[in-house]
C-alpha cells in the first residue's frame, strides 16, 4: 500500500469547514485505490497568532518540506491586518517552496448557472496560469518616515527573465497537454508599465516561437477583464503576472458560477519541494461558522493534488463525482442557489464516489 503524507493547514474562517469535507473525499478514494493518506494537521493561522504572536512557528517550512503535498483551507481574520496574516502564512510557503506556477481552472459545469446569460455548461473552459513567486508580490520595498505625516511607502515589482520564461513555458506546455483550443493568452500592461511588462512581452514572443502549434494573443489586462465577460468561451490557457492573475482568477471563478467552485494548485513543477493545493477563495468571514460554505472548491483542489501525486484515476473520479452532484443540482449550498449545508454537499460527493 502506498502511503502519502499530506500536510493540512485548515487555517481560518471557512477554511476549518471546507477542509474536513476534502479529507472525507480523500479518505474515500484512498480506500478504493489501496492508498493511505497520513494527514499531518497544523493548527496555524489566526488562533495561533492570538496565542503566540505569529501565524506559524519558526521552523514551519522545515516541518512542511518532507510532506508529499500541502492542503490549505484559507487564511485571514477580521481582527488581524491582512498583510500580517498572509505574509505570515500563505505567501511565505509559496515562495519557500518555489511554487511558481499557480494553476486556476475555471470550467462551467453542466447544471451550474453562470451570471453571464449566454454560456451554457461546458462553454467556459479556461485555466489561469499565474506567476506565483515574483512580480508585484515580490517582498521588496520599505518605508520612509513611517507613521509620520510625510510617510512614504515603496513597493517594488520584480520581473526576471527566468521567472517570466518558466511560467510561460509552463502555460504553453499546458495548452498542448489540454489539447483544447491550443491557445495561450498573455496578460500585459506594457502600454503603461514600460519596463516590467515590456520584458514580459518580449519573453512571451521568444517563448511562443518555440510553440508554433499553439495560437497566441496578447491582451492588456483591462481589456482582458472585459473579454473574460464578453467572450469567455474564447479562452484556453491564460498566463499572467502574480497580481494581474490574482484579479482575473476571481473573475474567472464567478463567471463559472461561484467562488465556491474555484480550485487551485500552487506547483513547484521541478518537484524539489511539496506543492500546495487550496481553494481560490478566502476565509469568507461573512458566512464563516454557519455551515453553509461550499466545500467543492476545496474538494476539487484535493482532486488536483491527486493528479499531481500521480493518482490520476482517483483524481478523475473526484472530478466526476463533483460534476455529477452539480449536474443533478439537488444538493447545493446557497452560493449556487441551494439550501444544503457544507456537510450535505460533502456527503453527496461521497455518495457519487461510491
Q: Which residues are catalytic?
A: 145, 189, 222, 246, 250
CA distance 85 to 122: 37
Going from the C-alpha of 178 to that of each of 171, 174, 224, the distances in angstroms are 10, 6, 21
Closest CB 192 distance from ligand IPM, rounded Å: 21
Candidates 1, 84, 91; CA nearest to 46 is 84
Does 82 interact with ligand NAD (rule: CB under 6 A)?
yes
Q: Which is nearer to ligand NAD, 214 or 345 (CB)?
A: 345
- Biggest CA-to-CA distance, the chain: 63
Q: State the binding partner of 17 from ligand IPM, Mn ion, ligand NAD, none, CB within 5 to 8 A by kind.
A: none
Show the site string, 44-83: x = touches Mn ion by CB under 5 A, - = not.
----------------------------------------
What would the x/- binding string for Mn ion be over residues 235 to 264, using CB under 5 A? -----------x------------------
Distance CA(224)–CA(191), nearest Å, equals 14
Cα four-point dihedral sign 78, 82, 88, 90: positive
Q: With respect to ligand NAD, which residue has the nearer C-beta, 236 or 335?
A: 335
Under the binding rule (CB under 6 A), the answer on residue 246 touching ligand IPM is yes
Grid look-up 510561460 returns 168
Adjacent-strand bridge partners of 2: 35
Which of residues 91 and 326 has its CB atom nearest to ligand IPM in the complex?
Answer: 91
Q: Considering only residues 9, 280, 300, 305, which one is a binding residue for ligand IPM as defined by CB under 6 A?
A: 280
Torsion sign, CA atoms 144, 148, 151, 155:
positive
SS3 74: strand
Residue 280 · residue 259 · CB < 8 Å:
yes
**Under the criterion CB under 6 A, does residue 12 sit at the interface with ligand IPM?**
no
86 binds ligand IPM (CB under 6 A): yes
* Residues engaged in binding ligand NAD (CB under 6 A): 74-76, 82, 86, 90, 259-260, 278, 281-287, 293-294, 297, 333, 335
Binding site for ligand IPM (CB under 6 A): 86, 90-91, 246, 280, 282
Amino acid at each position: 500500500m502506498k502511503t502519502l503524507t499530506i500536510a493540512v493547514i485548515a487555517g481560518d474562517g471557512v477554511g476549518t469547514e471546507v477542509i474536513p469535507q476534502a479529507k472525507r473525499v480523500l479518505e474515500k478514494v484512498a480506500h478504493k485505490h489501496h492508498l493511505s493518506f497520513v494527514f499531518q494537521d497544523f493548527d496555524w493561522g489566526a488562533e495561533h497568532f492570538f496565542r503566540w504572536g505569529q501565524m506559524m512557528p519558526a521552523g514551519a517550512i522545515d516541518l512542511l518540506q518532507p510532506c508529499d503535498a500541502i492542503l490549505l483551507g484559507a487564511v485571514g481574520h477580521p481582527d488581524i491586518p491582512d498583510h500580517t496574516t498572509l505574509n505570515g502564512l500563505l505567501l511565505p510557503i509559496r515562495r519557500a517552496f518555489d511554487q511558481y506556477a499557480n494553476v486556476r481552472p475555471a470550467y462551467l459545469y453542466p447544471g451550474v448557472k453562470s451570471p453571464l446569460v449566454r454560456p451554457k455548461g461546458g462553454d467556459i473552459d479556461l485555466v489561469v496560469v499565474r506567476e506565483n513567486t515574483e512580480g508585484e508580490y515580490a517582498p521588496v520595498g520599505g518605508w520612509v518616515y513611517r507613521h509620520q505625516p510625510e510617510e512614504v511607502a515603496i513597493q517594488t515589482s520584480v520581473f526576471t527573465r527566468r521567472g517570466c520564461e518558466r511560467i510561460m513555458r509552463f502555460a504553453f506546455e499546458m495548452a498542448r497537454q489540454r489539447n483544447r483550443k491550443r491557445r495561450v493568452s498573455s496578460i500585459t500592461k506594457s502600454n503603461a508599465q514600460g519596463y516590467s511588462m515590456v520584458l514580459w512581452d518580449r519573453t512571451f514572443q521568444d517563448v511562443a516561437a518555440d510553440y508554433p502549434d499553439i495560437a497566441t494573443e496578447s491582451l492588456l489586462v483591462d481589456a482582458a477583464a472585459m473579454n473574460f465577460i464578453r467572450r469567455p468561451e474564447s479562452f484556453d490557457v491564460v498566463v499572467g503576472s502574480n497580481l494581474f492573475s490574482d484579479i482575473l482568477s476571481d473573475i474567472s471563478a464567478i463567471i463559472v458560477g461561484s467562488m465556491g467552485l474555484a480550485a487551485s494548485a500552487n506547483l513547484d513543477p521541478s518537484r524539489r519541494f511539496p506543492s500546495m493545493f487550496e481553494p481560490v477563495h478566502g476565509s469568507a468571514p461573512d458566512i464563516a461558522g454557519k455551515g453553509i460554505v461550499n466545500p467543492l472548491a476545496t474538494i476539487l483542489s484535493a482532486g488536483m493534488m491527486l493528479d499531481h501525486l500521480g493518482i490520476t484515476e482517483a483524481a478523475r473520479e473526484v472530478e466526476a463525482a463533483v460534476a455529477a452532484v452539480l449536474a443533478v443540482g439537488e444538493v447545493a449550498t446557497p452560493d449556487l442557489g441551494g439550501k444544503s449545508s457544507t456537510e450535505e454537499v460533502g456527503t453527496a460527493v461521497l455518495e457519487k464516489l461510491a
